[in-house]
Structure 1
Amino acid sequence: MNQVIKLVFIFCCAFLSVLQTRAQKSENNGKASPLYQNNPKLDWFRDAKLGLFMHWGPSSVKGTEISWSRQDHPFDHPGEGPFVPNDEYDNLYKSFNPLKFDADEWMKLAKKAGFRYVVFTTKHHDGFSNWHTKLRDYNIANTPFKRDICKELSDAAHKYGLKLGWYYSTRDWSHPDYLVGDNKKYNDFYEGQVRELLTNYGKVDIVWFDHVAGNWGDYTFQQLFDMMYSLQGKTLLVNDRGARFVKGAKDAPPSEELQKLVEGDFDTPEQKIGKFQTDQAWESCMTMTKCVDGGGWSYRPDGKTMPFKEVIQTLVQTVTGDGNLLLNVGPLPTGEFPADQIAILKKIGKWLLKNGESIYGTRGGPIANGEWGGMTFKGNKIYLHILKWPEDGSPLVLPTLDKKIVSSKGLNVKNPVVKQTSKGTEIDLHANKRDEIDSIIVLEINK
């Protein structure tokens, strides 16, 4: 471990002059403060840090992966079985009747658990719509449940002051017009659905697209974005997946302006913690349910729930890397969250009540995170999040800070010893005083 720390120190020192002049997207880009993105529309998002992702639909009735357990995935990779035959999967909605669904309870729990925004799957790749869309019969209105889930969730999110995001898959494996002919019918259909979602549910803060197949000429992306901004304003955030899998144009390549537009406002690493990156906002989307096939987005009784310690350390590694964590829950077919995940969500809320000042409203850095943990900062305070100490019992040595430390204290630990030496910043804490999840130490520095 000491060797790793020395290597990080050498690397950071060598890199400082470069960092002053150009942005680097690297988990080891040292002193990051000159590179922080300045985009006011993203301020609330970068302050929020923690969002709740929810994947839900008729597949929960069978307890198989949402969309990916359907036999056919037109114009996409086949995935891994076992699969549900198309006819069976596409008719699961006829028995989808989540009578215990209570949007108010979901959003109240999200608020209590410390989430600042929520993102819900309005439509996944299977094509089922969780709202009363007028553009296709394959939707919640034609289930035994009938109620508009998106309407109830949007009302509850607004009630509890949570920012609202709509996940919308531009793939649609059950739609008869998806990538058929010139694709105009499907393009008009999906733009029409996005219009409904941004018209009928009040303030929407995020549109979270999830890939689409085809060519640039199959879609009118400029028209789509113009429509979205006209309905919700330029403060609307859009992720980076609006055209991620689109291939070369049939006629002419897209303009640089269009390519930049569809790159969106933030990156979305999936099922992994993103790299230390301060010049572009990012959000890791990760499941609480872990499955051997890499899924676990929707209700999977065969999966295992991520332990609380791992959840917190995942949050810390994400935030110290200057990103957000979008943590996913897959509700039961009854409309309830799994009981073991409810318990963990409540523990997250309690942890954030005590330690939230080191998470919310901070930025990652000023030193890049690593195996040992990472840093966040706000004003003249730096928060050290130490997840792993040197195995030989020696102090943890980090790269030298630019400014003098005027005081130090523990946020959730007592009597840490912090020194600025020729070796760097040394942090020591008696083994029996360390927190088993995350030892948080607050440094006050000269302004």
Structure 2
Amino acid sequence: MILKKIIVSFLLISNMAAYAQTKSITNETAGQKTARMKWFTDARFGMFIHWGLYALPGRHEWVKQRERLTTEQYEQYFDNFNPDQFDPKKWASEAKAAGMKYAVLTTKHHEGFCLFDSKYTDYKSTNTAAKRDLVKEFVDAFRAEGLKVGFYYSLIDWHHPDFTVDRIHPQRERNKNEWSENEKRDTAYYQNLNKGKDMSRYRKYLKDQLTELLTKYGKIDILWMDFSYPGAQGKGRNDWGSIDLLKTVKKLQPHIIINNRLDLNEYTDGFDFETPEQVKPNELLKYKGKYWETCQTFSGSWGYYRDEHSWKTQRQLLDLLITSVANGGNLILNVGPTARGEFDYRANKALDSLSYWMHANSRSVYHCTYPPDELKLPTEMNTRLTYNPVTGKLYIHLFNYPSDGKLVLPGYKGKVKYAQLLNDASEVQFTTTGFDMELKLPREKPPYEVPVIELNTK
């Protein structure tokens, strides 16, 4: 009898788990989602913009949390926020020149400061020396350049009076192993800090502000919510009211694309794309076959960090972009503008290098994905392959250019009608031996960090 009860309990748990994986919040079909996501999978490349009061200290966007600053200590940045060089038209022009097809702006980050004119808070750009709705200007400028627009909105808010102190809050418990969910917490400490706070009021604030953002600025293409951290002294779906938020968003903008940080992962439609953050290119293979976008910085932080110098090289940036597309995903690269509202010289240098490469080689990025299995190449060749399934074009990205100009493609006999260098459309002659195909490239490497060969496949 005991064994029977155990078996029944196991089957019930298994069935509940299977049911959880098929639960849905909306009635969208797979075909409808594919159509909704098409522009996103065609674009492949976007710009993230992290900008807020944290640009003034210039010491990372989590400076309030890292240095345990109080709201009173942090107020000096609100008082001195005056982005006199802010020109979103220039931002949009630079994004477009770099080959980016969409952009996502932090309308509110964890610090709680709003770049838009919200009627639900005084902690906003219109109450600073800027005296402007910076989100509206961003939307207008990027739309004018033909770019899709997206909003990042933080679920976290270290300024709001009803947002309860938790394990990542600036006023979190001290002398504890931070970020550990398994360690027993000093419950009394948090209860004392959170007297008078009411997360239900904060949930209403979230919903009200999201409603503002999705009704005041026309069509918004992406919503980037950030982030959930369930567990001991953390926050997840129940704290945010995630299901209600998702339904509200879908009602207001049914076409919108939403990331996966609302803590609704077991729902089939709880999110549209996954968001591997700051991962190495070789870690992106595991996302193949899904909708995903890797979010990456030019350097080590998202917000402007004056004294941070670990900036990625052009080769590293191209590796991220090309490897993302080669595994069927997107790359969104972040810029952290200065407190005066400009992209700093290091960001401009990085964008210029991408602009140079994308001008010649963007055809291997847009509308592309991973190739069919019969067009694979050995990994030791150190190439990345992207493929346009509509045109049948295969793109070989040469991370190691052959010094003798000879490139052998194993098993490619009879698979290619024509070959050329993508940057100048100059013919690449080829011969076949056995089952292999040998390309005769120029001995001198084309003037690009990663040259691209375009093959017109049969």
Task: State TM-score, norm by structure 2.
Answer: 0.75
Q: Check conservation: 1:365, 1:374, Cα contact below 8 A.
A: no
Aligned-pair Cα RMSD in Å: 2.9
Query: For residues 278-427 of structure 1, what are the structure 2 equivalents within 5 Å?
Result: 278-288=288-298, 290=299, 295-304=300-309, 305-366=311-372, 372-378=382-388, 379-388=391-400, 400=411, 404-412=415-423, 416=428, 418=430
Q: Check conservation: 1:309, 1:437, Cα contact below 8 A.
A: yes
Q: Check conservation: 2:364, 2:395, Cα contact below 8 A.
A: yes
**Which residue does 2:156 correspond to in 1?**
171
Distance 1:215 1:433 in 2: 52
**What are structure 2's unaligned runs of at least 5 residues?**
1-30, 165-193, 230-234
Distance 1:111 1:135 in 2: 34
Q: Deviations over 1:321-356 (max 9, x none)?
A: 221110111101111111232233233223222211
Task: State TM-score, norm by structure 1.
Answer: 0.77
**Which residue does 1:70 correspond to in 2?**
64
2:252 paired with 1:231: yes
**Which residue does 1:146 correspond to in 2?**
131
In structure 2, do the counterparts of structure 1 residues 394 and 99 end up closer, same or farther at CA, with 3 Å as the change threshold? Answer: closer
In structure 2, do the counterparts of structure 1 residues 121 and 411 end up closer, same or farther at CA, with 3 Å as the change threshold? Answer: same
Q: Check conservation: 1:169, 1:212, Cα contact below 8 A.
A: no
Partner-residue secondary structure (3-state), 1:363: coil
**Which residue does 2:110 correspond to in 1?**
125
**Which residue does 2:186 correspond to in 1?**
none
Distance 1:411 1:417 in 2: 14
Q: Deviations over 1:169-200 (max 9, x none)?
A: 11112222124676211111111111111011
**Which residue does 1:221 correspond to in 2?**
242
- Deviation of 1:115 (Å): 1.3
Residue type of the alignment partner of 1:93: F
Partner-residue secondary structure (3-state), 1:62: coil
Residue type of the alignment partner of 1:119: V
In structure 2, do the counterparts of structure 1 residues 145 and 402 end up closer, same or farther at CA, with 3 Å as the change threshold? Answer: farther
Partner-residue secondary structure (3-state), 1:39: helix
Partner-residue secondary structure (3-state), 1:433: coil
Q: Check conservation: 2:412, 2:435, Cα contact below 8 A.
A: no
Query: For residues 156-235 of structure 1, what are the structure 2 equivalents within 5 Å?
Result: 156-179=141-164, 183-213=199-229, 214-233=235-254, 235=255
Q: Check conservation: 2:112, 2:159, Cα contact below 8 A.
A: yes
In structure 2, do the counterparts of structure 1 residues 63 and 388 end up closer, same or farther at CA, with 3 Å as the change threshold? Answer: same
Residue type of the alignment partner of 1:184: S
Q: Deviations over 1:192-221 (max 9, x none)?
A: 111111011111000001113424433432
Partner-residue secondary structure (3-state), 1:46: helix
Structure 2 counterpart of 1:267, from 270, 274, 281: 274
Distance 1:149 1:316 in 2: 32
- Deviation of 1:243 (Å): 1.9
- Deviation of 1:222 (Å): 2.4
Q: Deviations over 1:91-123 (max 9, x none)?
A: 311100001111122112222222110000011
- Deviation of 1:53 (Å): 0.6
Partner-residue secondary structure (3-state), 1:107: helix
In structure 2, do the counterparts of structure 1 residues 37 and 439 end up closer, same or farther at CA, with 3 Å as the change threshold? Answer: farther
Distance 1:403 1:223 in 2: 55
**Which residue does 2:45 correspond to in 1?**
50
Partner-residue secondary structure (3-state), 2:269: helix
Rg: which structure is higher?
2
Q: Deviations over 1:51-92 (max 9, x none)?
A: 1111011111111111x1114xxxxxxxxx556555322431
- Deviation of 1:427 (Å): 5.1
Aligned length: 381
In structure 2, do the counterparts of structure 1 residues 190 and 418 end up closer, same or farther at CA, with 3 Å as the change threshold? Answer: farther
- Deviation of 1:426 (Å): 5.3
In structure 2, do the counterparts of structure 1 residues 216 and 298 end up closer, same or farther at CA, with 3 Å as the change threshold? Answer: closer
Q: Check conservation: 1:183, 1:218, Cα contact below 8 A.
A: yes
Could you tell which deviates more after superposition, 346-355 or 377-386? 346-355
In structure 2, do the counterparts of structure 1 residues 207 and 434 end up closer, same or farther at CA, with 3 Å as the change threshold? Answer: same
Could you tell which deviates more after superposition, 150-159 or 179-188? 179-188
